[in-house]
Amino acid sequence: MSSSSFVERHPDFVLKLKITAADGQTEIRRIRLPRIVDGEGKVSYEELVGLIVAFSVPEVRSPKSSRYKVSLTYSDVDGDSVTIASSEELLDACEQYADQKLLRITTNFKKPNTTVAPATAAVRASCKRTMFVETPRTGTNIASQASQKADKRIRMSSKKPQLPLYRLETQGKDHLAVIVGGRKGCTYCKYKRALAKLNDKGTLPSVSKIGRKCLACGDHLCKSHFDVFHKAE
């Protein structure tokens, strides 16, 4: 039984992902199987991991942040918790639940300190593809701009929180809010939180996760922070 035929026979098969990100936030996402096939039409573990990383890690497009480790588990027909770590195991899991057309997968995120996950290159590659999938209206533009910005974008420093300078530049692109598929943390929320942390404020402001970003900057920004983000301090 080849994996391509499984997707062909079950195009409506859904993966229900319970994603627990590194910051402890939990999110449920539904992915239809045809969304994670590789170039040969086969169910791909790397594609799935790439999608999960794109869903969960706000700064995934910066080169330094591709060191995320994802562990996938599901409950098999005997009720045992089984790890999925390859396309073969993913397909095997799907086949067990072919009748239900639904496989529940629990996803846990780890950010290793030193080791780089072996799937890094594949994850990064599939993340780029995900950007195209998730932004059908202006896909190519956003994706190419996002990858341009990826070099400039830095993690919010905890010692010296700063907003990126490109937010004040025009570069011929309008700073326009666009809706995208993947939800990520608002850059300005992260900035405010980092500042509060630095000043030892008791309760830290939360970071909104939104599917809304600036077309020119590539930063995700919540509604109330879009204008203030683009103003010089």
Which positions touch Zn ion (CB under 5 A)? 175, 186, 188-189, 208, 214, 216-217, 222, 225
DSSP class of residue 23 equals T
Nearer to Zn ion, 146 or 217 (CB): 217
Name, in order, each residue with C-beta under 8 angstroms of 200's C-beta and a sequence gap of 6 or more: none
Nearer to Zn ion, 44 or 208 (CB): 208
Number of other residues whose CB lies within 10 A of the CB of residue 133: 15
Nearer to Zn ion, 77 or 165 (CB): 165
Phi and psi angles of residue 146, each rounded to the nearest 5 degrees, phi first: -60, -40
Region of residue 105 (left: phi > 0; alpha: psi -120 to 50; beta: else) = beta
Q: How far apart are the first and last CA of the chain?
A: 61
CB of 225 to Zn ion, least distance (A): 3
Nearer to Zn ion, 37 or 177 (CB): 177
Cross-strand pairs, 178: 213
Nearer to Zn ion, 131 or 186 (CB): 186
- Dihedral (Cα; 180, 185, 189, 191), 10-degree rounding: -120
CB of 185 to Zn ion, least distance (A): 8
Name, in order, each residue with C-beta under 8 angstroms of 64's C-beta and a sequence gap of 6 or more: 155
Nearer to Zn ion, 109 or 188 (CB): 188
Q: Residue by residue, what is the 3-state secondary structure of 52-74? A: HHHHHCCCCCCHHHHCCEEEEEE
